[in-house]
């Protein structure tokens, strides 16, 4: 393990780099498609993990809290007390040293990505995936789910010499935390989960069918607030169909992709931000730049697109579930938005995702291993405090409460005061959960 120490106002930051196997040997690798050979060689046997251990001025002897970012495909936030992100860090440092792990394939942990070459040159994959076949890419990327991330966490915990630590999981990080509880409860002193208790024993069709209905509700709520936006959206969708909506890099936005601009409606700021985008002239550079920033799936974090549906695939294949379960009412009405609903066509539209297209097709046919076994969760005797957002558009409330009920020592804080981004809205949510975990608060 390599270590360095950095200093910021009020913070000491220890950076860690250590080697991890690509394949932790967790289970027999699933077949990667009917047309792919069964024994595809991985393009690399190891990868590098990067993490920061963040300590306050009086925190050198405090226990560890490992933060698992939402996604998949998002790196850990970069720590600072002089900016507002992450807003929960100051509260966390009162009780913990915070370990911010860049999950494999993100940030500085052997990132997975693509690059634009010289002008008019097609993008290609970078790093270990450069010059690989789609089958090799799929074989490699199948090792980037929650099970492998938990195995990486165990390597980091052991490298720090910690017998146990507490996990804080936001959204997909909460899904990963539930897998951690199922597989390594002995390593956890506690778990804090925000907007991230996944569906257990529900089909992927049930999950996406439910989230489509939730987004219909969010769409109608937006139109009640901003009634003029409905006609504007219909107009812009027609322009998208005519090829007139273009991003700064030249990518043309289809009506299907434009629909995903409503993804932010699941956040506290989403409706206002969407309305302000729609006010702009669609031919302006400001509109193009803002639209690019609001589209949820893209080349900045490619694993979010490539592996997102697999986080809902508990022992099944995905087969482009969001596309398959789109309600007829949504397909017929361009003013109804998608949320975390990935369209297969995105991989032909987005120039930075296009190099992943064939691998994504192979991964959509994989029969994934189970991540959230109910019986193992019932045996996970670890104190858990979980925030469940009543109106969460991405992680349905009812499924979350069912998952919490499986855990023998779970305390649930259900609130309608926050949307899916409640953890990032300040210190309140984390403070509430720490109180539940420590027994100073009861509900």
DSSP codes of every residue in 412-425: EEEESS--TTGGGG
Q: Are 151 and 182 in contact (CB under 8 A)?
A: no
Q: Are 141 and 363 in contact (CB under 8 A)?
A: yes
| DSSP 8-state code for residue 281 | -
Tokens of 159: 């490298």
Distance between CA 181 and CA 174 in Å, rounded? 10
| DSSP 8-state code for residue 186 | G
Distance between CA 44 and CA 427 in Å, rounded? 41
* 436 φ/ψ angles, rounded to the nearest 5 degrees: -65, -40
Q: How many residues does the chain have?
A: 443
Q: Which residues contact 227 (CB under 8 A, 6 or more apart)?
A: none
Distance between CA 400 and CA 390 in Å, rounded? 10
Which pLDDT does position 443 carry in this prediction?
A: 80
Give the domains, in start order, of the chain with CATH numbers: 2-200+372-438 (3.40.50.1820), 204-364 (no CATH)
Tokens of 329: 């009412």
Tokens of 377: 């969760």
Buried b (16+ CB within 10 A) or exposed e, 387-403: bbbebbbbbbbebbebb
Q: Are 419 and 339 in contact (CB under 8 A)?
A: no
* 29 φ/ψ angles, rounded to the nearest 5 degrees: -55, 135
Q: Are 216 and 264 in contact (CB under 8 A)?
A: no
Distance between CA 194 and CA 429 in Å, rounded? 8
Tens digit of pLDDT at every position of the chain (443 positions): 899 999 999 999 999 999 999 999 986 555 665 555 557 889 999 999 999 999 999 988 999 999 999 999 999 999 999 887 799 999 999 999 999 999 999 999 999 998 866 665 668 899 999 999 999 999 999 999 999 999 999 999 999 999 999 999 999 999 999 999 999 999 999 999 999 999 999 999 999 999 999 999 999 999 999 999 999 999 999 999 999 999 999 999 999 999 999 999 999 999 999 999 999 999 999 999 999 999 999 999 999 999 999 999 999 999 999 999 999 999 999 999 999 999 999 999 999 999 999 999 999 999 999 999 999 999 999 999 999 999 999 999 999 999 999 999 999 999 999 999 999 999 999 999 999 999 998 88
Tokens of 256: 């299907």
Select from 114, 121, 12, 128 the least CA-distant residue to 62.
Answer: 12
3-state secondary structure of 243: coil
């Amino acid at each position: 393990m390599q270590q360095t120490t950095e200093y910021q106002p009020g913070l000491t930051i220890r950076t860690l780099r250590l080697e991890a196997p690509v394949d932790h040997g967790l289970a027999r690798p699933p077949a990667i498609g009917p047309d792919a050979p069964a024994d595809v060689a991985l393009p690399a046997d190891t990868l590098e993990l990067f993490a920061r251990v963040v300590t306050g001025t009086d925190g050198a002897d405090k226990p560890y809290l490992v933060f698992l970012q939402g996604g998949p495909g998002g790196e850990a936030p970069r720590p600072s007390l002089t900016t507002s992100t992450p807003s929960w860090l100051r509260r966390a440092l009162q009780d913990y040293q915070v370990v911010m792990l860049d999950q494999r394939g993100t940030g500085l942990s052997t990132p997975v990505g693509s690059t634009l070459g010289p002008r008019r040159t097609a993008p290609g994959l970078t790093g270990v995936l450069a010059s690989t076949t789609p089958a090799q890419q799929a074989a490699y990327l199948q090792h980037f789910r929650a099970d492998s991330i938990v195995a990486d966490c165990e390597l980091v915990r052991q490298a720090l010499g910690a017998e146990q630590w507490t996990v804080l999981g936001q959204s997909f990080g909460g899904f990963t935390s539930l897998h951690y509880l199922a597989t390594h409860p002995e390593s956890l002193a506690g778990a804090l989960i925000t907007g991230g208790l996944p569906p257990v024993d529900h089909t992927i069709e049930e999950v996406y069918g439910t989230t489509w209905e939730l987004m219909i509700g969010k769409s109608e709520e937006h139109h009640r607030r901003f009634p003029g936006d409905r006609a504007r959206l219909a107009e812009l969708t027609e322009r998208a169909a005519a090829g007139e909506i273009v991003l700064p890099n030249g990518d043309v936005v289809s009506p299907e992709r434009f629909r995903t601009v409503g993804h932010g409606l699941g956040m506290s700021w989403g409706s206002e931000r969407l309305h302000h985008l729609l006010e702009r002239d669609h031919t302006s550079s400001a509109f193009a730049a803002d639209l690019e920033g609001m589209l949820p799936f893209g080349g900045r974090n490619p694993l979010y697109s490539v592996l997102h549906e697999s986080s809902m695939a508990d022992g099944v294949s995905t087969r482009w579930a969001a596309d398959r379960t789109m309600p007829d009412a949504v397909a017929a009405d361009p003013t109804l938005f998608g949320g975390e609903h990935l369209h297969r066509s995105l991989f032909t539209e987005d120039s930075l995702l296009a190099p992943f297209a064939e691998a994504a097709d192979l991964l959509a046919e994989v029969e994934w291993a189970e991540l959230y076994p109910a019986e193992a969760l019932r045996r996970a005797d670890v104190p858990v405090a979980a925030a469940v957002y009543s109106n969460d558009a991405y992680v349905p409330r009812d499924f979350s409460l069912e998952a919490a009920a499986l855990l023998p020592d779970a305390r649930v804080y259900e609130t309608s005061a926050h949307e899916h981004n409640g953890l990032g809205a300040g210190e309140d949510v984390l403070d509430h959960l720490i109180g539940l975990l420590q027994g100073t608060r009861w509900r």
